[in-house]
Chain A
Amino acid sequence: MKKNCLNILKICLPVFLFAAAIARGQNEINIEQNITVMGMTKPIPVSLDGFTGEVLDVLKFDLYVQGFSFVSPDAAQYLISGSNAGNVQGRLTDRFSKHSLLARSYTGASLRREAHAFADDIVLAITGKKGVALTKIAFKAEQPDGNGEIYVADFDGHNPQAVTHDGAIVAAPAWVPGRLALYYTSYKLGNPDIFSHDLTTGQRRAIARYSGLNSSAAVSPDGTKVAMILSKGGSPNVYVCNADGTDLRKLTSTSEDSSPCWSPDGQWICFATKINSRRLLAKVPAGGGEVQIVKTIGVSNPTEPDWSPDNKWIAFTSQAREFDVCVVPAAGGDVTIMVPGEDPSWAPNSRTLVYVRRTASYRYVLSLLDAPTKQVKDVARVSGSDSQPAWAR
Chain B
Amino acid sequence: MKTTKLIFPLVLALAATLATTGCKHKPVGVTKLPGQNPPQVGETGPGPTLPNTPPINPNENPQGNPMALPPPEEFDNMLADRAVLAADTIHFAYDSSVIRSSEKANLAAVAQALSSDPNTKLLIEGNCDERGTEEYNRSLGERRALAAREALAKLGVDPMRIETRSFGKDKPVDPGHDESAWAKNRRDDFVLLHPKPGA
Contacts and interface: CB of A to CB of B under 8 A. Distances in A.
A216 B68 CA distance: 20
Interface string A218-238: 000000000001011111100
Given A233-B68, A293-B56, A215 B135 contact: yes
Interface in B36-56: 38, 53-54, 56
Interface string A113-150: 00000000000000000000000000000100010000
Contact of A258 (B62, B67, B130, B138): B138
A192 interface: yes
Nearest to A272: B136
A213 interface: yes
Given A209-B72, A212-B69, A236 B139 contact: yes
Given A209-B72, A234-B69, A234-B146, A275 B56 contact: yes
B69 A304 contact: no
Given A257-B139, A276-B54, 9 more contacts: A169-B171, A233-B69, A236-B139, A253-B61, A256-B97, A272-B136, A275-B62, A276-B53, A278-B53
Contacts of B136: 256, 258-259, 272, 279, 303-304
Interface string A288-322: 00111100000000011000000000000101000
Contacts of B177: 362
Nearest to A215: B138
Contacts, number: 138
B85 to A, nearest CB: 18
Interface string A225-255: 0000101111110000000000000000111
Interface of B: 38, 53-54, 56, 58-59, 61-63, 65-72, 75, 97, 130, 132-136, 138-140, 142-143, 145-146, 163-168, 170-172, 177
B69 A231 contact: yes
> Which 10 A-B pairs give the minimum distances between C-beta atoms?
A234-B66, A211-B69, A291-B58, A235-B66, A258-B139, A236-B139, A213-B142, A303-B136, A234-B67, A253-B61
A191 interface: yes
A303 B70 contact: no
A234 B65 CA distance: 9
A319 B166 contact: no
A58 interface: no
Given A234-B146, A276-B56, A293-B56, A172 B135 contact: yes
A259 B132 contact: no
Contact of A231 (B54, B72, B132, B164): B164
B166 A192 contact: yes
Nearest to A318: B133
18 contacts: A146-B171, A171-B138, A190-B165, A211-B69, A211-B70, A229-B135, A231-B69, A253-B63, A254-B58, A256-B136, A256-B140, A275-B62, A279-B136, A303-B132, A303-B133, A317-B133, A319-B132, A342-B133
